[in-house]
Chain A
Amino acid sequence: SQTIHQWPATLVQPVGSPLSLECTVEGTSNPNLYWYRQAAGRGLQLLFYSVGIGQISSEVPQNLSASRPQDRQFILSSKKLLLSDSGFYLCAWSPERMYGYTFGSGTRLTVV
C-alpha cells in the first residue's frame, strides 16, 4: 500500500534562517506531488506541484522554492524565512491528475 511521510511535525525557526521540509511517498512510482500551505482557520493555498523528477510548477511567487531530486521525494525550501512564512504545510500525492489526493500529516512552522 502507498504511504506518505512528512517531517518534521512541528518546527520553530528564527527569522532569516533557512528551511527544509521533506516529503516522501512509498509504494508507488511517478506520483504527482503537491505542497500546500494553510493559514490558521483558512483554506489551503497551493504552493508547488510536480508531475515528474525535476519538473516543478510554482503557483505563488514568494520566499519559498521546491525541488524533486528523486521520483518519490519532494522538498520545500527557503533560504531566509520571513514571519509571514508561518503556517501549516501539507504535502500530498496523487497517482495521476484529476484523482483524489492523499495528504501527509503536515508540518506546523512557526517563524519567530
Chain B
Amino acid sequence: SQQGEEDPQALSIQEGENATMNCSYKTSINNLQWYRQNSGRGLVHLILIRSNEREKHSGRLRVTLDTSKKSSSLLITASRAADTASYFCATALYSQGGKLIFGQGTELSVKP
C-alpha cells in the first residue's frame, strides 16, 4: 500500500529557479526520507528527517517536516539541468519494522 503522495506529479522549471515538491502521508512516522531516481536507474538517498526535526539542509536541498499536517516538502535551490529526475518521499515507522513505504513521485524537468 502507498503511504506518501507527492505533489505535483510533474514540474517543469528553468535552470536557476527553485523547485518545491510536497509529500503528504497518512499515518504516524518515525522518519521521512527523500530519494532521487534518474530515468531507468536505481534510487539515490538524498536526505532523512526524523519526526522530532522540523527542517534539515544538505547542500542545495532543504527539507521541512510538519507532523501535525503529516506533510513534508523538498526544496531544491538554484536548480540545474542535472537535477532532472523523479523525486520520491518515503516514510518509515519503527513499529512496522522500519521498512520504507514510497509515494508515487514527482517528475522534475529542469530546462537549460
Contacts and interface: CB of A to CB of B under 8 A. Distances in A.
B42 interface: yes
Interface in B54-108: 88, 90, 92, 94, 97-105
Nearest to B107: A41
A34 B98 CA distance: 12
A103 B38 CA distance: 12
Given A43-B88, A43-B105, A44-B88, A97 B97 contact: yes
Interface residues of B, number: 26
Interface of A: 6, 32, 34, 36, 42-46, 49, 51, 57, 59, 88, 90, 92, 96-106, 108
22 contacts: A42-B104, A43-B88, A44-B102, A46-B100, A51-B97, A59-B99, A88-B40, A90-B42, A90-B43, A97-B98, A97-B99, A98-B31, A98-B94, A98-B98, A100-B33, A100-B48, A101-B35, A101-B43, A103-B35, A103-B43, A103-B44, A106-B42
